[in-house]
Structure 1
Amino acid sequence: MESITLNYELVLEAQDRLRKRVRHTELISSNHFSRQLGYPLLLKCENLQTTGAFKLRGAMNFMTARDRSGLAQGVTAASAGNHAQGVAYAADLLGVPAKIFMPESTPPQKVQATRDLGAEVVLTGANFDESFAAAQADSNQHGTVFIHPFDDPLVMAGQGTIGLEILKDLPDVANLLVPIGGGGLLAGIATAIKEHNPQVRIIGVESAAAPCMFRAVHDNAIAEVPLGTTIADGIAVKKAGQITTPIIQNLVDDLVLVEEEEIALAIVALLEKSKLLVEGAGAVPLAALLNGRAKGIRGKTVCLLSGGNIDVRTLALVVERGLLAAGRYLKLRIEMQDTPGALAHLATDLAEAKANIHDITHDRRTKGLVMGTTAVQLLLETRGQEHAHEVLGLLAKRGYSVTTEQ
């Protein structure tokens, strides 16, 4: 296939191909977050896309743009989840064999979801990069078409159709915040929106644990960055794209980083206030706004919720972490006299503070405890940070030796 370049016309062509094949996702106004932030905030819900994430757009556009005979040997891809399901869905719809390489640590739910869509799944590699290398080698060996998850003009153009939908539904959008991994989503959307309205401010948001695009743009050099542990696994990429990076340098107004606790809090906030289930990567734009990472925001603002594919086990851990960060859970260790009734007195004091005991452990055998004392570890439910401070203040007033834990 001849070499192509990402431009506005390529995004328009993608829109025509995808019109009846992908969902035009909702743009929902959030009254709660609008009041909290002081400007109109809307949520672009790609978490409600057919496969639960935006990746379907790029995969579908890539495949439908090619001659069907060129796909006869099948397609190959590497993914930790969303790109896998996008490729598998598109391949199944078009009757094309698909082989997806996924890291061995991929949650079983994501593996099964990909298999349910008819793709062959190969679990290999400790991380995405190792799976990517294995997928490329297999594609070269068997003559299949390799679908890059982000660094391909057709893939980027497919993702860029999100920008066209936003412009149609909200012509006077002033700001747009978009998650970044390798940069395909951001490059495609920026290409679509800036051509139509250069005044729209576009901000890319990345996890501080995986800042490959942030570093590439600020250092003016594309290089591998070490990955920390992040709940935004969908954007945990070691190296920014060769094609995506210069586009982002030219068209994107700002790049910001968010921390893990901020992402967890955003996931919990979206669940509670908007009734929307969003994965870590999809929550980073809201995390940036709620924590003041993006400066000078005024006017109608859109957060792109890029996906909602989060497994139940991870969700439970994230919710607990988010509640801890918000002060809704309070973990304490209290050393106290080991006398009859002491624990009952503590429970009475906590009831007075209106803190609910979620979990309690009573341990007399901890090394370093003075004879005749005991350590009590507590997980308390509170109403938030202010209430948590009230609880700690009352316990200190009653003479307890308290240590807070994370």
Structure 2
Amino acid sequence: MVARPDTVTTSVGMTLREDDAHQRFRSKARAWLASNLPSGELPPAHTREGFELRRDWERRLFEAGWAAVHWPSEYGGRDATVRESAIFTEEYLRAGAPERINGLGLNLLGPALLEFGTLAQCRRWLPSILRCDDIWCQGFSEPDAGSDLAGLRSVARRDGDEFVVDGQKIWTSLAGFGDWIFALVRTDPLAPKHRGITMLAIDLRSEGVDIRPLRQLDGDPSFAEVFFSGVRVPTDQVIGDVADGWRVAMHALGLERGSSFGAHVGCSRDVDALVRLREIVAEHLADDLADGDLDDRIARVLVRSEAYRAMSRRMLTRDELGIAHPAEASAAKLFRTELRHETFDLGIELLGELGELSPGSDELSSRFGAEFDAIWRHWHHEYWYARAAKIFAGTSEVQRNIIAERWLGLPKEGRDVARAG
């Protein structure tokens, strides 16, 4: 494993050394995780058995108060500070704890409810998110409204105390296991493009909802299309105000793009796995490695993972001080997804033509052994997921536009096109 520094000095002049209270919190979290982690490897999360075992784990987290440490205690949190939340995320990842299965509810909807929701909505949905009684998915993208999210065509017509929803959502993560969806719909077709949009919480068990799984290359069936045909939604399930859904959505997407506190642990772990993968391959393929400059490229991603670690800590410090830049989340999301993409590409390239083989291949098992098999199962899944990461939460191209316009002050893309014409 690669040795890494314990402290990082940030550009705002602070060194992230933990005081006694932070160290006690870290020790408490580390001890609880060590005593309560499920034994053995769980089945994949995209299987029903694996999903339900992770739901049991989530309930254990909730009962102990660890499901969302930064949420108010009245909803099951610990009233933790930003720093304490980052500490717990780091310890969770370092412990190799199970993948969180209600991440969209936990990281997007929950904070949006705390910011825009009514008291009744918070009491109704927040505890059930943490207990995983309700699994939430996100209904933003549509066939003709991916990166151009404001071009969505799903509509909701007011009918007394209900909205009647018709339309389609695509690329809907967790819809295969979901109970609820927070969806953007157009409630005023005559309003300007970014207005007249409302966010609704919709029960996926409602009449008129049709979920059609989209099996991915890694075999995960939880991705889906969702169709709405005359679905009736009570008006008290509007999140925020009617026709103000764009503002709620941008708040949620900012959280998704900037949810990097602790993510540097995962990036560092992936790079460490890449280094170990390189060692295993070198032992068995000797001088037959596919590319002579691979070591230089591995060193590059190692350096970049340390740069991302510093970026993550810098964002944490700025967030604590209340001086976070609105485009900083886009910069972190772009850096993180590009780094992971390069890391997993390198792992495939290490094996040359053998990199085309799937986990469990007799050829790979006989050649490299059991340790390699365990790494390769993870690698194969993450290789494909790293490609998706360049699309979800806003494509890398969208993030570059945000950085250019909101941070560097460059002209908007449309203005450049107009001038060129």
Which has the larger Rg? 1
> For this structure pair, what is the TM-score category when the shorter chain's length is used for normalisation?
under 0.3
TM-score by length of 2: 0.24
TM-score by length of 1: 0.24
1 or 2, which has the higher helix percentage? 2
Structure with the larger RCO, 1 or 2 (CA within 8 Å, 6+ apart): 1
